[in-house]
Amino acid sequence: MSSSLHFTGDSAADDLLNQNFLALFIGMLLDQQFPIERAFLAPHRLQQRLGFDLDATALAQCSREALIEFFSEKPALHRFPKSMAERTHALCGYLVERYHGNPCDVWANISDASELRERLLALPGFGEKKVQIFVALLAKRFEIAPPGWEDIAGHYADSGFHSVADLDSHDALSKLRAQRAEEKKAK
């Protein structure tokens, strides 16, 4: 069931997503109104621009203005670099405040997926759909599957190509795009 994420087209960026949960959180945060592979490539580029490993405490201590500059540098890390830099800053601040800067503590000591859902919904920039996808991503790719995760993830728990949770290759990304195009046609 579980396999690594490999779809950005950059092996170092994929490795970062698979090894650093803050990178995964930031990629998920940026995955809106922007191509999926570029959203998840952005944490790696941000790390390169910062010159140090992605760390919630360090990013929370970084000024918003500095983070906006890192996001805005060409090529911009998102279509909306200012607002996404601010959201990233808020996310990191929240992780520091609530979880001592450790993203893994978001799912530590939970009894079931509904508790994980509540914790994820409290994160800046995470709404219901993003939470469903993230729960599926944790379960399918990282074997973090608290009881009831399928109910919380909804159709994102199903096999097939529904979200980033199903991407283990660039080919899978193409299949996801094809499926989304078909769904649009059907509407």
pLDDT digits (tens, 9 = 90+) for 85-121: 999 999 999 999 999 999 999 999 999 999 999 999 9
Distance, in Å, from the CA atom of 29 to the CA atom of 87, rounded to the nearest integer, reads 8
Mean pLDDT of 151-175: 92
Distance, in Å, from the CA atom of 45 to the CA atom of 9, rounded to the nearest integer, reads 13
pLDDT, position 177: 87
pLDDT in tens, 50-60: 999 999 999 99
Distance, in Å, from the CA atom of 172 to the CA atom of 7, rounded to the nearest integer, reads 8
| Lookup: tokens for 121 | 């919904």
Q: pLDDT above 70 covers what percent of the chain? A: 98
